[in-house]
Amino acid sequence: MIVSPVFVAGHGGMVGSAVCRRLATMPDIEVMTRSRGELDLCEESQVNDFFSKNRPATVIFASAKVGGIHANKTFPVEFLTDNLRQELATVHASFRNGVGRFLFLGSTCIYPRLAKQPIKEDELLASPLEQTNEAYAIAKIAGLKLCQYFRQQYGVLYHSAMPTNLYGPGDNYHPDHSHVLPGMIRRIHEAKERGDASVTIWGTGTPLREFLHVDDLADAILHLCHLDSPPDWVNVGTSLDVSIFELARLVAKTIGFQGEIRTDPSKPDGTPRKLTDTTLIRSTGWEPKIELEQGIVSTYQCFLKEQDSGKLRSK
Ligand code: GDP
């Protein structure tokens, strides 16, 4: 059962807003949110004040400094520091102020670079990390472990979900710093608008990635928050993957771009494959509902709407 009130940290982001949309359909639950201007989660004293005054019972921690392969490689200091500070402040303030359940968002990109595929939960820390996002991974592993240790040492239900690559409404469409799906949607859309004969995607196009619609993740998060004995961390994905080149073809088909798709091997590929084993979460009664093709179509429609209304995130 989800105990109200629920504080959704990071409600403005893609995951947090999807969780809030889902919680809005549950009239018995009071939802608390704060913008970054109102509450800077990196600032321990602000976080302590917020928790002692507002006393949430449940926390869904969807706040993080995130970015694609380029941003992660360029700003490792900020990815490590900002994420660690937010996690430490929020988990500690939660414990001090009686939060009984804390759902921490990890990510499958914190598994080792050459994790056995499909990736099971016990691959965490089994071998070296992927270099391009090591700083983010170290911060997220620390947060996940902190939740596990609190649960082990103090008996509170602090646990984590490990989503695979996400996409959906409210994504970040920055041309360099975004993840691959929004990056491609924007690049291919702009190529079509200009009438270009070709579009170039990053890397060799051969890496394999799995994609989960963020509404499916929100559904999984609330499902996990209902469990009396959730796993310490659990993968959330589809267990289906696609090559980056095939993904570009799907995006081009959705957008109606008929030009050539070229690759640029001078850009990094990142980890060769990242497919999750979702046996554990499926055994608890959850499964994804949104298929990739259908999800790309609805996400492209959202992209167009966000662009028309001047609300496209691009930072
Ligand atoms: P990753 O899953 O952590 O590696 O991060 P990304 O989502 O940024 O990249 C996934 C893969 O897509 C990598 O192999 C990238 O080289 C490739 N890729 C192709 N085109 C793009 C693009 O426009 N943006 C991004 N971010 N990645 C791209």
Over residues 131-155, the mean pLDDT reads: 97
Q: Which atom of ligand 1 is nearest to the CA of 184?
A: 23
- 161 beta partners: 105, 234
**Counting beta carbons within 10 angstroms of the beta carbon of residue 44, is it exposed (0 to 12), middle (13 to 18) or buried (19 or more)?**
middle
In a domain, 208, yes or no: yes
Q: Which of 139, 5, 143, 158 is nearest to 81 (CA)?
A: 139
Q: Note the pLDDT tens digit of each residue in 263-273.
A: 999 999 988 88
Task: Tell me what pLDDT residue 124 has.
Answer: 98
Indicate if ligand 1 lies below 6 Å from the C-beta of 202: yes
In one-letter notation, the amino acid at residue 218 is A
Retrieve residue 60's tokens: 């869904």
Task: Tell me what pLDDT residue 90 has.
Answer: 98
Over residues 16-27, the mean pLDDT reads: 97
Task: Tell me what pLDDT residue 155 has.
Answer: 98
Q: What is the pTM of this model?
A: 0.94
- Measure the CA–CA gap between 110 and 162, rounded to whole angstroms: 9
In a domain, 315, yes or no: no
What's the half-sphere exposure (Cβ side, CA atoms, 13 Å) at 257? 27
CATH of the domain at 300: 3.40.50.720
Q: Note the pLDDT tens digit of each residue in 240-251.
A: 999 999 999 999
In a domain, 272, yes or no: yes
In a domain, 34, yes or no: yes
Q: Is the peptide bond before 5 cis (omega within 30 degrees of 0)?
A: yes
Q: Which atom of ligand 1 is nearest to the CA of 268?
A: 16
Over residues 126-130, the mean pLDDT reads: 95
If one residue of 79, 202, 209 were mutated to test the ligand 1 pocket, choosing by the most ligand atoms within 8 A of its CB, it would be 202
Percent of the chain with pLDDT over 70: 100
Give the number of domains in the chain: 1
Indicate if ligand 1 lies below 6 Å from the C-beta of 203: yes
Query: What range does the domain containing 297 cover?
Result: 6-309
Q: Verify whether residue 300 is a known catalytic residue.
A: no
267 CA distance to ligand 1 middle (Å)? 9
- 58 beta partners: 6, 101
In a domain, 294, yes or no: yes
Over residues 8-23, the mean pLDDT reads: 97
Over residues 180-200, the mean pLDDT reads: 97
If one residue of 14, 66, 69 were mutated to test the ligand 1 pocket, choosing by the most ligand atoms within 8 A of its CB, it would be 69
In a domain, 98, yes or no: yes
Query: When comparing pLDDT for 248 and 72, which is higher?
Result: 248
Over residues 14-22, the mean pLDDT reads: 97
Task: Tell me what pLDDT residue 194 has.
Answer: 98
Is a pLDDT exceeding 80 seen at residue 121?
Answer: yes
In a domain, 202, yes or no: yes
Over residues 102-109, the mean pLDDT reads: 95
